[in-house]
Amino acid sequence: MIITATPATDGPDAFLLSGRFDAHQAERFRTAVDPSLDVDQPHIDVDLSDVEFIDSTALAEIVRVMKRCREREGDLRLLAPSDPVRVILELTRLDAAFTIV
Amino acid sequence: MTDSGLSAYRSWATTPLTEPPKYSVVIPAYNEEWRIVPTIGAIATQMCTLGQPWEMIIADDGSTDTTVELVQELELANLQLLIAEQNGGKGSAVRRGMLRARGDVVLFADADQSTPIEQFRDLEQRIDDGYDVVVGSRAADGAEVENKSFVRKVFSTGLNLIVRNVFRIPVSDTQCGFKMFTADAADRLFRRQLIDEFSFDLEILYLAQKFDMKTAEVPVRWIDAPGSKVEAGKVALEFLRDLAIISWNDVRGRYKSDNHERPDQGVDSSMPPMAV
């Protein structure tokens, strides 16, 4: 999986993910994203438009980040999930938990 | 998401087929509560882009976790769930799924999505070319293998050398959980199958060769999924034992006639979700 990070100048920190987001990639995602949580009201965008598959470990990881954001009155948004990712979010009923744009 | 892709998926998920499926995808599942739902989502999305009627069959293998409940709760219109009362081995789960399948082309795929379903068409192309059995291969030229442990590489290389040289099966990877069959080939092979454990693949390929079925190998992209239930050393010993069992079965003539019946399909073309 390729992670392209765009630190915020005026808006959420953005992370563009590309490829397969699975348990092998969860640690890399955590390393890339966690520094963005160390602020008041963290706002993070995760672009999933180019993710071909997401497994349960990866889902758990983005749930963790979302919770951390909301604990600090921020939020995590999922941008344009690809077809399989959107369906997986629906089947796991996580689509209702996230802000999906 | 593309509107056409979303529309096709929604229709498949909510409306039972009114015609026989062209494709069947069989997924054996034993204690897969952590992995099964994303795999179903990925496969359903991809298969719906092909524009053909298709069915998914989850062949439970006596799971003791919440795999069965999770699949049932999805309430997908064209997903059959075959429940086993007890664990019988991966080979038994795949057989029940394959003999339940109604498609002209039948694929079985592992529940961990280690071989991405996007490669379905690559295998189907060889079915279109006239092959009866098409094997996804991690060892063929052009295959991409990610995260496979050194131990598993050593075992699989050694075992496949034995298979090729002792059994003369012209396949470089007998164990990849991504294999496609014509309906006739699946019916004939899985009715004769006797091995219920991991080396059932080897028996199926042995029988395909014995019955002069055309078998092709297609290189695949394969990503090791964490949490694999395969214990390389134990499986290797079982594999060698089963090589001998398969030979002995053949000598005794146990492959001359069917060893299993095809289950009654109930003649219900709509095939709602069912537990068997």
Every domain of chain B and the residues it spans: 1-113, 121-175+188-254
Residue A52 touches chain B, beta carbons under 8 Å:
yes
User: Which residue shows structure tokens 């109604």?
Assistant: B102
Nearest to A87 among B44, B147, B223 (CB): B44
Residue B176's CB: how many other CB atoms inside 10 A?
26
Partners of B6 on chain A (C-beta within 8 Å) are 83, 86
Nearest to A56 among B38, B116, B118 (CB): B38
Residue A92 touches chain B, beta carbons under 8 Å:
yes
Structure tokens at B243: 């090589």
Nearest to A24 among B34, B45, B226 (CB): B226
**Is B272 a residue whose pLDDT tops 70?**
no
Hey, are the CB atoms on B37 and A90 less than 8 Å from each other?
no
What pLDDT shows up at residue B220?
96
pLDDT in tens, B67-92: 999 999 999 999 999 999 999 999 99
Confidence at B227, pLDDT banded by 50, 70, 90: low
Top CATH class, B1-113: alpha beta
B50-61 mean pLDDT: 97
Q: CB–CB of B65/B33 below 8 Å?
A: yes
Hey, are the CB atoms on A83 and B147 less than 8 Å from each other?
no
Nearest to B116 among A53, A59, A90 (CB): A53
What pLDDT shows up at residue B268?
38
Confidence at B2, pLDDT banded by 50, 70, 90: low
Nearest to A56 among B6, B35, B45 (CB): B35
Positive or negative: CA dihedral B176, B180, B186, B189: negative
Name every residue in B having a CB less than 8 A away from some CB of A. Answer: 1-2, 5-6, 9, 34-35, 37-38, 40-42, 44-46, 49, 74, 113, 116, 118, 146-147, 223-227
B249-253 mean pLDDT: 94
Q: CB–CB of A5/A32 below 8 Å?
A: yes
What pLDDT shows up at residue B1?
44
Nearest to A87 among B9, B34, B147 (CB): B9
Predicted TM-score (pTM) of the model is 0.91
Hey, are the CB atoms on B116 and A52 less than 8 Å from each other?
yes
- Nearest chain A CA: its distance from B5 CA (Å): 7
Pairing relation of β-strands B178-182 and B133-137? antiparallel
Confidence at B3, pLDDT banded by 50, 70, 90: low
Residue A59 touches chain B, beta carbons under 8 Å:
yes
Contacts with A56 (C-beta within 8 Å, 6 or more apart), sequence order: A92, B34, B35, B37, B38
Q: CB–CB of A78/A100 below 8 Å?
A: yes
Distance of CA B131 to the CA centre of its chain: 17
Residue A19 touches chain B, beta carbons under 8 Å:
no
Hey, are the CB atoms on B41 and A91 less than 8 Å from each other?
yes
> Mean pLDDT of all residues in chain A?
93
B144-149 mean pLDDT: 79
How many residue pairs from chains A and B have C-beta atoms closer than 8 A? 65
Contacts with B136 (C-beta within 8 Å, 6 or more apart), sequence order: B115, B119, B123, B173, B176, B177, B178, B179, B180, B218, B220, B222
Hey, are the CB atoms on A88 and B38 less than 8 Å from each other?
yes
Contacts with B165 (C-beta within 8 Å, 6 or more apart), sequence order: none
**Is A53 a residue whose pLDDT tops 70?**
yes
Q: Return the residue in A50, A87, A94 with the most chain B beta carbons within 10 A, the one to mutate for interface testing.
A: A87
Hey, are the CB atoms on B1 and A83 less than 8 Å from each other?
yes
Residue A95 touches chain B, beta carbons under 8 Å:
no
**Is B267 a residue whose pLDDT tops 90?**
no
Q: Return the residue in B3, B6, B37 with the most chain A beta carbons within 10 A, the one to mutate for interface testing.
A: B37
**Is B36 a residue whose pLDDT tops 60?**
yes
Nearest to B45 among A20, A56, A87 (CB): A87
Q: CB–CB of B134/B218 below 8 Å?
A: yes
B252-267 mean pLDDT: 80
Q: Which residue has the higher pLDDT, A65 or B165?
A: A65
